[in-house]
Amino acid sequence: MAIEDGASTGQQRLVGAEGDYDDQQLEASLRPGTLEDFVGQQRVRAQLSLVLEASKLRGRTADHVLLSGPPGLGKTTLAMIIAQDLDVPLRISSGPAIQHAGDLAAILSSLTHGEVLFLDEIHRMSRPAEEMLYMAMEDFRVDIVVGKGAGATSIPLDLPPFTLVGATTRAGLLPGPLRDRFGFTGHLEFYSVPELELVLRRSAALLDLTMTTEAFSEVASRSRGTPRIANRLLRRVRDWALVHGVDRIDARAAGAALDMYEVDVRGLDRLDRNVLSALVGKFNGGPVGLSTLAIAVGEETETVETVAEPFLVREGLLGRTPRGRIAMAAAWEHLGLEVPNHAAFKDPALRTALASNAEQEQDASS
């Protein structure tokens, strides 16, 4: 988490998907309260609406819900909407905070009938707590062990029916028995530019900002498909306009504000461009090993792999092969350079390896 929040400077990246305290404060005021107000994720919204409506018609608690997907796409917001739609209290905790079975037992024993329990990053929960959660989800019961050794006694504790909403950015790390106990699983996808424009329009109205259609498009196109990043960039544009005395923000003003924060037209920041520039300028497009690439840009290996690479790979700017990282044609073009004939990605063997590696990563993520 610390690496995701910042690079080697120790400061959070403006285009990082993880949220900080300021983001939490802003999101609290901008969060939609109903599924109808929630922008994007049409398939998940439709399915979730059906699950909630059916539970209300049956007069029973809703099935447990698992929400997966990259950070910043609205998993916490959907959990709040679920509780509000069911008109029940919401209890929020996280996997890293539950390190012992007793921690989970304390939370579960204090739940009220029908309450929604939201566990963020549920895949990071400890194994003993995880095993206790199996019984709680299925039978609404936990066994509390009192004493130690031969004198230990197991006391069954009945729980009121509740709805667990789990959120994870790494669904593949969840054990099968836990995944199988969720009645509904929804995977959140990255947003398109038009969808992000709708998010920004709603946020701008709540923040009392006047922006042109082109300005919304400018900010949305640099937001990496993530509403949290879009709202963060909108806040920076708002600050720029306030300092420069701009009442009506157009595309030029929005672009100037984001250029000042070094977020380019494709949403790349300084770290992303440094990785591409090193790969192209110092290693002729690769292939080059990850550790060598990290040394070239003056970053830790894990920072390059977990912070910069995912977006660069998704945008088709960088490729990962068994022989190392390579710059794709789009990387040369984005840096304003002509694609040379010797570019590594033109090697047939590397193209085959790249395709095979992409298929393996896709299978692993699914």
Q: Which of 45, 75, 124, 232 is catalytic?
A: 75
Catalytic: which of 76, 163, 168, 226?
A: 76
Query: What residues contact 218, with CB distance under 8 A and at least 6 apart?
Result: 251, 254, 255, 258
**Is residue 352 flagged as an active site residue?**
no
Q: What CA–CA distance (Å, rounded) separates 357 from 23? A: 35
306 annotated active-site: no
Q: Are 350 and 356 in contact (CB under 8 A)?
A: no
163 is an active site residue: no
Q: Is the dihedral of CA 186, 189, 193, 196 positive or negative?
A: positive
Binding residues are 30-31, 72, 75-77, 138-140, 181, 191, 228, 320, 325
Q: Which position has the token pair 């699983």?
A: 185
The verdict on whether 185 is a catalytic residue reads: no
Q: Cis omega (within 30 of 0) on the bond before 287?
A: yes
**Which residue of the set 13, 228, 238, 273 is catalytic?**
228
Q: Which residues are annotated as a binding site for DNA?
A: 320, 325
From the list 23, 120, 269, 272, the catalytic residue is 120
Alpha carbon 204 to chain centroid distance? 22
- In eight-state DSSP terms, residue 12 is B
- State yes or no: is 169 an active-site residue: yes
Contacts of 9 (CB under 8 A, 6+ apart): none
Single-letter residue type at 177: P
**Residue numbering of the annotated binding site for ATP:** 30-31, 72, 75-77, 138-140, 181, 191, 228
The tokens describing 90, both together, are 């919401």
Catalytic residue among 61, 169, 226, 303: 169
Residues catalogued as catalytic: 75-76, 120, 169, 228
